């Protein structure tokens, strides 16, 4: 049921924005794999949980108009045997995405030190995307 709701949501995206490729993925797109969710507050955006069952999932946000192609891929399965529907989204090269990264609130006067984590986040996303592209 949840899978059907997600695919229905993705199918409702503007036809002019999503090209239907019959011979593989679009050459000008970059693949991102994960569990898709509608953005609850901004209907023109989509949330994608990259590696949702991994030890450090990353939450990404994209504008719907930047999605070139949606590819269904095999679902992930939890330890309880529940399926988690996954898709591969081909995002327009040069589009702006947002990484939503949790952090711990520690001390009042301690500045957030996220800059050092950016490379690690990038590597996790690229590693998952590369594995899913094969």
| Residue pLDDT, tens place only, 34-87 | 999 888 899 899 999 988 888 878 899 999 999 988 888 888 888 888 888 888
Measured between alpha carbons, how far is residue 22 from residues 25, 26, 71, 77, 96 in Å?
Answer: 8, 10, 11, 28, 26
Domain count along the chain? 1
Pairing mode of beta strands 29-38, 58-63: unpaired
pTM of this structure: 0.66
Containing domain of residue 117, as a range? 2-133
């Amino acid at each position: 049921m949840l899978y059907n709701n997600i695919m229905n949501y993705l199918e409702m995206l503007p036809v002019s924005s999503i090209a239907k490729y019959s011979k593989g993925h679009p050459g000008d797109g970059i693949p991102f794999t994960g569990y898709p969710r509608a953005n609850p507050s901004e209907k023109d955006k989509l949330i994608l949980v990259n590696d949702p069952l991994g030890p450090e999932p990353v939450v990404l946000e994209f504008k719907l108009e930047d999605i070139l192609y949606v590819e269904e891929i095999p679902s992930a399965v939890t330890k309880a045997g529940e399926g988690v529907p996954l898709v591969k989204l081909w995002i327009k090269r040069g589009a702006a995405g947002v990484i939503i990264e949790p952090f711990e609130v520690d001390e009042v006067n301690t500045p957030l030190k996220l800059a050092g984590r950016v490379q690690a986040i990038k590597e996790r996303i690229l590693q998952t995307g590369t594995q899913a592209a094969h």
